[in-house]
Amino acid sequence: MMHIKSPVYIDANIWVYYFFREDKFFDKVYNIFETIAKEDFIVVSSYLLIEEVWWSIIKNLYKRETDRELNRHRWRKERLKRISNYMPIVKEITQKMFEVTLIPERIPSKDTVIKELKQVLFYIENYIDINDAFHLMYAQNNGVKTFITADKNLAKYASNIKDKLSFDIFLVK
């Protein structure tokens, strides 16, 4: 196992594997969280990460209840009928996330925003998905030392630009 250094950024897929314990990655993810807790690591998060965790949780619960995929169109139609019932679970999971994570408080200047968006564009130009590009930028600019993910494509394309990253990518397989 690669050495994990603090602070860490935990990708949304890792959180989802942790909360939905029957996934094939659960044991590995659980061990990562154990290490983070034992070593008292700082875990950095972002609003985008939380949105992705919420969306994954809601889609998962919806599929379990209806055996249908939830897409953005169906979300609009069903959010008041069924999806609002999931909010207590979403709130509970969010509270658990905030027990171990922090969202750095910062109000970036216009120049900082432009610089960070250029970083995002650079990542996208190197075949990294748009949401992942924002996660990488956020990790890059908030002192993260280890970015933990189970996304093979993210790890593959990030390895092509590792000389531009100030952190290690830890792929859970």
pTM for the model stands at: 0.85
Cβ-based neighbours of 74, under 8 Å, separated by 6 or more: 68
Contact in structure between 169 and 154 (CB atoms under 8 Å) = yes
Cis peptide before 104 (omega within 30 of 0): no
What is the structure's pLDDT at 140?
Answer: 95
Give the tens place of pLDDT for each residue, 1-60.
Answer: 458 899 999 999 999 999 888 678 889 999 999 998 888 899 998 889 999 999 888 888
What is the arithmetic mean of pLDDT over 102-120? 87
| Band of pLDDT at residue 156, cut at 50, 70 and 90 | very high
| Weakest-pLDDT range from 80-84, 108-112, 131-135, 147-151 | 80-84
Q: Are 151 and 133 in contact (CB under 8 A)?
A: no
The fraction of the chain above a pLDDT of 90, given in percent, is 50
pLDDT digits (tens, 9 = 90+) for 47-79: 899 999 998 888 888 888 888 888 767 777 776
> What residue segments make up the domains of the chain, in order of their start?
8-106+144-151+166-171
Select from 3.30.70, 3.30.1370, 3.40.50, 2.60.40 the CATH code of 8-106+144-151+166-171: 3.40.50
Token reading at 46: 């972002």
The predicted pLDDT at position 98 comes to 85
Neighbours of 116 (CB within 10 A): 16
Mean of the pLDDT values across residues 109-133? 94
SS3 133: helix
Percentage of the chain beyond pLDDT 70 is 96
Q: How far apart (Å, rounded) are the C-alpha atoms in residues 58 and 83?
A: 7
The pair phi, psi for residue 4, each rounded to 5°, is: -95, 130
Q: What is the dihedral of CA 158, 162, 165, 171, to 10 degrees?
A: 50
